[in-house]
Structure 1
Amino acid sequence: MMQEQAELIALEALRYIAEDTEAFMAFLRLSGLDRETLTGHAGDPAVLGSVLDFLLQDEKRLLAFCESRNLSPDHPARARMSLPGAEYLQNQ
């Protein structure tokens, strides 16, 4: 998957997470980001990778996101592999 396509999927995932206050607050806690920092760096590929990491941790949330965006459930994982930090995941 091209990085640009991966970034678009991750931005959609961020929008989806932001629509759910509980999920959004959990993402902020786990990522260590605050709203201001997230707003200023939302387009950063590393931040987008962390968004997909968060989404991929919860199958129910992942499937709901994919259904809401008419995506195959494997798209977010494939997108994650195109963003920074994927090398670390591949070496696990």
Structure 2
Amino acid sequence: MKHTRESAETIALRCLGWLLANEELVPVFMGATGAGEDDLRRGASDPAFLAGVLDFVMMNDQWVIDFCAAEQLATDAPMQARVMLPGGQEEHWT
């Protein structure tokens, strides 16, 4: 499925919500990004921050599987959404 910028942001917001509900991952995310609670609130409306949320979750296949299962999404949804957010059009070799 090809995402629009709006649908990509919606998936990223859902991912942020899933992440924040996961007590084990929240400190890992905050430690990896340096984000504080205020950053999380502001970041919800920032496409670049939302892109970072997807990047973080996509670092681990199990996190992607768990998020997609919880949100009833195809497992390629985060990657497809990421392409539509800032920096997602850059070539990568992973």
Q: TM-score, normalised by structure 1?
A: 0.91
Matched, 1:16 2:18: yes
Aligned-pair Cα RMSD in Å: 1.2
Measured in 1, the distance between the counterparts of 2:66 and 2:23 equals 15
What is the rounded CA distance, in whole Å, between the counterparts of 1:37 and 1:68 in structure 2?
A: 24
Unaligned runs of at least 5 residues, structure 2: none
**After superposition, where does 1:5-84 map in structure 2 within 5 Å?**
5-84=7-86
Percentage identity across paired residues of the two chains: 33
In 2, Cα distance between the equivalents of 1:19 and 1:56? 17
Q: Which runs of 5+ in 1 are unaligned?
A: none
Q: Give the superposition deviation at 1:91.
A: 4.6
Higher helix share: 1
> Structure 1 CA distance, aligned partners of 2:42 and 2:72?
28
Count of aligned residue pairs for this structure pair: 91
TM-score normalised by length of structure 2: 0.89
- Post-superposition, which runs of at least 4 consecutive aligned residues in structure 1 deviate over 6 A? none
1:71–1:37: structure 2 CA closer, same or farther, 3 Å change rule? same
CA distance in 2, matches of 1:60, 1:10: 17
